[in-house]
Amino acid sequence: MRTQRLCFAKVCRIESPIRGNSRGWSARKVKIHELVERLAPERDAWLSRSAFFHHGDYGYFRFLVPPGLRVLDLGCGIGDLLAVLRPARGVGIDFSKRATQCARAAHLQFGFHVGDIENPQTCAQIKGPST
One pLDDT digit (tens) per residue for the chain, 131 residues:
444 333 333 333 334 444 446 678 888 888 988 888 888 877 777 777 777 777 888 899 999 999 999 999 999 999 999 999 999 999 999 999 999 999 999 999 999 999 998 888 887 887 776 65
> Domain ranges in the chain?
2-125
Burial degree of 108 (CB within 10 A; 0-12, 13-18, 19+): exposed
Distance CA 124, CA 62 (A): 28
Quick one: DSSP state of residue 99? H
The class level of CATH for 2-125 reads alpha beta
pTM (2 decimals)? 0.71
Quick one: DSSP state of residue 22? T
Distance CA 79, CA 17 (A): 28
Question: Between the CA of residue 109 and those of 27, 44, 77, 116, 131, what are the distances in Å?
Answer: 35, 18, 16, 22, 18
